[in-house]
Structures are given as structure tokens and as C-alpha cells.
């Protein structure tokens, strides 16, 4: 039985031919909910020659019908942003909205240098840029904060730690024998650096054989932190999976689905600029219902919903962790 139900009028956002910077593709959308409106940031492409990504903003009162702002939401003002700003991911911590995004900073021998950067906003109008936060890691994407701060593992002097999920391409630590990009958890005293990283999830199943990366910011449930992530199979199909992490110490994985919770089935997930991609990047919880926002085939934005209790029960039942 399917746990997530796609919105019947998917996709909810398609390219806007009348707006140059989002005329070809709009995808990988992240969201926050303030009790009245769903706020969305999304990745947009306006040309295929250089394939530079920009970030747009849209908002909705029902989570399905979005009104877009015509201008680019986060302008590429910094040198490290000039080759592209991709995959914005939103976390609300207290009254601040943290936005992490992938930046292609420069090209070296035809290959982009990939980092993740952080911007903070209170209103989605003005963004305070805190710079690249993954400097010490190679090709580090899928960076997302926990919405709460924690006191675990390290005794930082004054306040508690930021927990930040990330996916470095390589992390050389002889204690961990991993050969594939995996999800790490960093316990940092500030929001602008990643430190004290521990391995959280590595590829286990065929459908996630090539790599795994965190999706939206984790959601607190009574059984644990719900983490939705993507996994990539050997034949490059992107699917969504889910795990539950210990409430007090999220370094401990309580449960993790053997099977994906959503995979490319519909035309808008199978055919696009990159075929066969379901890429979850946002969730909101409204009255016990979880709305999962995701990119379809690197071309459009989509949403699917599930009952939160049923989803948690499903993860516990389909679990690979005892």
C-alpha cells in the first residue's frame, strides 16, 4: 500500500516561459509554514548553455497553488555563487529561517568546485549571507539543519549545538569503511562551520547503492526524528527513503525503510531534464498530515502527502534496524 499520495494536479510548479531565469526548469523546492502560508524556495534554470541555477520564491495559502515572485529571490551577489545556486533547503530555528544551498564556486579543468552555503532570513525578502559552510570538505551537498539545537556529545561553552546533516563525496576517516557518498551528522558550535562529523547513514539497499543524501529538515515525531532522504541506484534512478533517529541523540538510527517511500512512476518524474528523479527537499506538517515537496525529473515541482502516524508506523515496520 502506498504511504504517500501524489497531488492529483501535480506538478504544482512548471517552467515559466515568460520569465527568463525560470523559463526552462523549476525543481527541488523547499518549504516552511507559518500557520497561514506555505513559503517556497526553488531551483530555477533559464538556459541550457551554461545551465546556471538561480533561486526563486513562491507562496501559497493551501500548499498546492503557488504564486511566484517575478524576481530572483536570492541574488547571486558573491563570487562563490556566480556559476550557480542550487537546491535551496529551508529550516526554521526559532524565528530565523536558515537556507542552505549548493554553490558552484569556480571551474577547475572543466569541473565545478561544489560547496554548500548558508543564508539567513526572517521574511524571505532580505537574506543575510553567511558564506560557504563546507570549506573543509570535498563536493559537499544536501546540507540541512535540524530545527532544534542540542546538548550532545560536546561541551560547548555557552549555548547548545547546531546539528547539520551533510553529504561530502569523500570523508577519509579510517574508522569508517565507506566507499559511497553517505549522510553525515555534524555537531557544530556555530551555524557557519561543520565540525565533529559522524557517519549517520550509508547506502544499504540496491535502490540507494550509488549514494544517499539528506532531503528536508528532520521533523520531530513521538517515535523519533523523521529523516527523509534520497538514494540513487546503479542505474541512476533517484528515490525517496525514510529513517527515524533517536529524539535525544539523533546520532542513533532507530529505524530505516528497506523500500523507498516514493519512486519515479508518473511521466513528470520519469521524463525531464534528468529522467527518473524524485528528489525530496521540503516538508510541512499541517494537522498531522505531512506534505512532501520534491523535484520531478529536474524539471518541475511536485507534492505528495501522507498521514504522519501511518508513515512513522510504516518506517518502524519496514525497518532494517533492529
Question: What is the β-pairing status of strands 278-286 and 289-296?
Answer: antiparallel
Stretch that binds ligand BMA, among 88-96, 245-253, 274-282, 307-315 (CB under 6 A): 274-282
Radius of gyration (C-alpha) of the chain in whole angstroms: 18
In sequence order, what are the residues at sequence separation of 6 or more whose Cβ sits closer than 8 angstroms to the Cβ of residue 66? 12, 13, 38, 40, 58, 59, 60
**Which residue, 4 or 298, has its beta carbon nearer to ligand BMA?**
298
- Asked if 76 contacts 82 with a C-beta cutoff of 8 angstroms, the reply is yes
**Which residue, 28 or 121, has its beta carbon nearer to ligand BMA?**
28
Among 184, 238, 268, 293, binds ligand BMA (CB under 6 A): 238
Among 97, 253, 277, 306, binds ligand BMA (CB under 6 A): 277
Nearest approach in angstroms of CB 27 to ligand BMA is: 6
Element (H, E) at 281: strand 278-286
- Asked if 298 contacts 272 with a C-beta cutoff of 8 angstroms, the reply is yes
**Which residue, 68 or 142, has its beta carbon nearer to ligand BMA?**
142
Stretch that binds ligand BMA, among 118-126, 151-159, 199-207, 272-280 (CB under 6 A): 272-280
Q: Does residue 22 belong to the site contacting ligand BMA (CB under 6 A)?
A: no
Closest CA to 120 of 191, 183, 25, 172: 191
**Which residue, 127 or 279, has its beta carbon nearer to ligand BMA?**
279
Residue 154 CA to residue 105 CA, distance in Å, equals: 32
**Which residue, 28 or 257, has its beta carbon nearer to ligand BMA?**
28
User: CB nearest ligand BMA: which residue?
Assistant: 274
Site string for ligand BMA, 68-107 (x = CB under 6 A): ------------------xx--------------------
Residue 300 CA to residue 293 CA, distance in Å, equals: 11
Over 6-41, what HEC string results?
A: ECCCCCCECCCCCCHHHCCEEEEEEEEECCCCEEEE
Residues that bind ligand BMA (CB under 6 A): 28, 86-87, 238, 274, 277, 279, 295, 298
Amino acid at each position: 500500500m502506498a504511504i504517500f499520495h501524489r497531488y492529483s494536479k501535480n506538478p504544482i510548479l512548471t517552467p515559466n516561459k515568460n520569465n527568463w531565469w525560470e523559463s526552462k526548469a523549476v525543481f527541488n523546492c523547499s518549504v516552511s509554514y507559518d500557520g497561514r502560508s506555505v513559503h517556497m524556495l526553488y531551483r530555477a534554470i533559464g538556459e541550457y548553455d551554461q545551465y546556471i541555477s538561480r533561486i526563486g520564491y513562491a507562496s501559497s495559502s493551501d500548499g498546492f497553488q503557488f504564486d511566484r515572485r517575478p524576481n530572483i529571490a536570492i541574488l547571486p551577489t558573491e563570487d562563490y555563487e556566480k556559476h550557480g545556486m542550487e537546491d535551496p533547503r529551508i529550516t526554521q530555528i526559532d524565528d530565523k529561517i536558515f537556507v542552505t544551498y549548493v554553490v558552484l564556486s569556480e571551474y577547475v579543468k572543466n569541473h565545478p568546485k561544489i560547496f554548500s552555503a548558508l543564508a539567513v532570513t526572517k521574511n524571505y525578502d532580505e537574506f543575510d549571507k553567511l558564506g560557504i559552510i563546507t570549506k573543509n570538505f570535498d563536493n559537499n551537498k544536501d546540507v540541512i539543519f535540524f530545527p532544534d539545537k542540542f546538548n550532545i556529545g560536546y561541551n560547548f561553552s555557552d549555548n547548545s549545538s547546531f546539528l547539520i546533516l551533510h553529504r561530502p563525496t569523500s570523508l577519509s576517516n579510517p574508522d569508517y569503511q565507506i566507499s559511497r557518498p553517505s549522510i553525515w551528522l555534524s555537531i557544530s558550535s556555530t551555524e557557519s562551520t561543520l565540525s565533529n562529523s559522524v557517519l549517520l547513514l550509508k547506502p544499504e539497499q540496491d535502490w540507494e547503492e550509488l549514494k544517499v543524501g539528506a532531503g528536508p529538515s528532520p521533523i520531530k515525531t513521538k517515535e523519533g526524528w523523521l529523516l527523509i532522504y534520497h538514494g540513487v541506484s546503479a542505474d541512476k534512478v533517484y528515490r525517496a527513503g525514510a529513517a527515524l533517529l533517536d529524539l535525544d541523540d539523533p546520532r542513533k538510527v532507530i529505524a530505516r525503510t528497506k523500500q523507498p517511500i516514493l519512486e519515479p512512476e508518473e511521466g513528470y518524474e520519469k521524463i525531464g531534464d534528468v529522467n527518473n528523479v524524485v528528489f525530496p527537499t521540503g516538508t510541512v506538517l499541517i494537522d498531522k498530515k505531512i506534505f512532501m515537496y520534491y523535484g520531478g525529473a529536474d524539471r518541475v515541482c511536485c507534492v505528495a502527502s501522507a498521514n504522519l502516524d501511518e508513515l512513522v508506523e510504516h518506517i518502524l515496520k519496514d525497518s532494517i534496524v533492529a
